[in-house]
Structure 1
């Protein structure tokens, strides 16, 4: 039993405070709280002396095996068998000696591999109402799991650091049976790994139970060849707490590729990643998930959205998240290049190809982006003759520099973006339909800011922090917040950032008031209908307060175009009441 306790020392130490908490609550009652290991063997129990003596007579004590195969139906064994919380009441027990008792048990899982590592059980006389509280047992088990998660991060800090340092490479966590329990997006999309598969199916040599046990002393290395012929080196490290081994973590790295994500590619690289896309709006969360999936594909991406919505941030994030992150990210504004220079800028030229050309020639943007990503911003402004050349490059995966005689193969991922409606441009004859279909393989549409008003507060607070550079940020008046949330923002996020920066400059450093906002913003605010005052002056709200319901608040805010100050005046309440009701009704 001492050896058993030593093996599970980590679990005992972490669970003990929560067992003590339960015991203190019931110390005068006929109730016992016990902790078992993953086999159903009781490691430790807590009860008053009278209860302890009663339960010892029916073999409920440290060292006893309560696996269902040994003891029949009981809460501990059944929780292990069914892998979920259970309550066994009185005569439901297999053993007749347990019929006066009710038992509630909840499995305790490792939060990373989700394998059961123990069971928390509460046993009490059936006449005691408190003994029937299975929800408290589940709650305490969850608290123990949270404590385990925290300490596992501490214990495995070097292993987790290795994972985090190569987070863009495929990695998996597997249990002691070799069953994969967690993986990242790279493992899913690059290797096709699925939860429940065995880790050895991704190794050229088999892995045995003995190999898994040896992980506690050392790591392992293995090789794997993917379906596409890519060779991977696998580094496997132990995943444990104390002397208890949970399984392992496997990190896949392409053979011949760089091993550190901290090595930045020379030349152009990205400033943004998905963490820069601040949102709590469901539409944006779905977009980011799709973009993350697109990161692991080489298919062409077309990003559409109004000016200032963050199309380039999304494009850079796709590059920075995927396997091409080690390569260059080359951005091109197709609308900013003079028509006569588009071909030479994109595809390059040979020496002496035209008057004024450099004698040694020049690489085009596509060649500069080789092994990486080229971002064709404002693709809708690309001249028609350049569209023909671009279509050829996309189809043949090779560029023809001006003056050149041979194509140069390229390995480039293409992301294009536009604020224009390309289907309308096709009808006008300004954009080639065949090029549109070649570009629009993966389509991502970024919503305008007016359709994600729930993100305005997040964005404003972020812009404030960035602009203040560590200094104390000014507060924002309620009326200013009202304008921020009701304005239409034709310039989207770019305009919002500009307005915040201007307001900070004009403010006194303490509070941003309506007087600190740009005049064009205030002039652009839509005025409420002139009939609105008459409507409400003749209504039940004129001059008196009634109960402010959710429906009435929505109606008034719609009529005032979201202007909180105007709504407060018409409803004869303060602005703070409006904000309080917005929060109460979940309308923020």
Structure 2
């Protein structure tokens, strides 16, 4: 009986016997002699290759991906690449002059990066062992990368053990990389070289390397979870009667509130098969799968699509919130089955301001809230349009339903708005689905970024507003609806009408009354006040740290294109970096430090009376400067590439031409500096 080590490691002394077994296997001998030197791992792999009709006389791997496709693939595998970057950089020096190289591949066996001995890297290109080439068993036969991913274990493949004749001069060892949160195989790391470089320790090296990558992935995942919790904080603060269950971008449970326990208990009492174990992971909520899950209706039976709230940051899906409506003690049901606190917070309580224009906007919104006329909120991104919408809603009754019309595929937006009937399309959920308009019956429908709504969908919304009835997709029978419409946009809808991108009749229907919301740069007196508000809110102790005079200078000099949302994120980040001490310029994002440098000497007039100035250390000056000169060649190169990409509007071909470099070189440099195409 072979020892465990004889199955784990290759033995160069058995090469002749292995080669004889391969020749017999390829010939298809009816009854080949048992090859005692052939490991069962290799034997089973050869059988898989034969079943996949791999050509045993193949000389190399397939053609690599085009540069553009490889760049996009690396963008999708950014998490794995970033976690492995220090390890691969170390391999560049550690494996130099050893005749070996280290290879990183994704879970589909496609090579993402290669480092190590330069002559060996060059030799590997003759068999297409290079970035952009897929080294699966089905394409390249038995090899360490493809076989390790096929069996999910560390694998060493030496010389004649390879299935294809063209790579039998090579020896390789590989181990899979698993995601630390759920154990999913996300890639493989491999050490390869010509046959004479065989070493048993290569297998130990790749196993150790894979564990190091997994450790770095774990640290990154914890950072993402903290960012997810911070991003979802507003939802928890506004939850009232709603049960909230938060999942990360991989569909793993992160957090749930007390109301969620009660809501889940109520679902179980009504026959829904939901157990605590069902919440540990819902794979359908993973990034990239959520849309397909909702469309194909493969969600768990107890979970309704309208309860899902994807959390997006800069277009990236960072997690999913499940909102479970439940009326606990102290709450009452209003018209339409909506839940509302018996002691609701006063309207517009979340808007912090001392600015006259902003107070005027609140007064106008409060006055309009007494009627049910449609209201259009006008303001830039992050200015607080949803807080206005919620404040207006508080004056009425019924449910508050919000939908962002931007960045959503037309078909998804249609089903989200209007719902659909049973069997309306292939994969439609049994029993159909209620749309956001119907769900808002008796309450408020808030359509954010209405200017992004596709032109051909606008007449359908107009019909609902004019006739007070809705047709679900696939239905011919109208359903009566009655709701207050609040819309919001950062666009100039009049200009959109003139350009033919927005219907004039719909514009006059949604803009019966408008509320312009001033941007933060036009009410700089609020900056210190709002900063103080967020310090009190996010600081861990009872007494929050203050801001130095230089930090206040930077806050007031900056133009805040992201408005209040950007200010909030800035304060949250600065609190973490200051570690409990006063927040100084060095704790602010680089955009604000640049603004501080450009506006050195500016006096902060609005800080007086804000509650912040008292926290300034004695002797702190009212100015701050930042060095603007480039401090390294790499820093200058990165800045130059950023400018070229921005100037070409993301067209990498034009950017490369402007920089006078090859496009493939530009891809490599973008990967090095972590740059993305806008």
TM-score bracket relative to the smaller structure: 0.3 to 0.5
TM-score by length of 1: 0.45
TM-score by length of 2: 0.39
Give the greater-gyration-radius structure (CA).
1
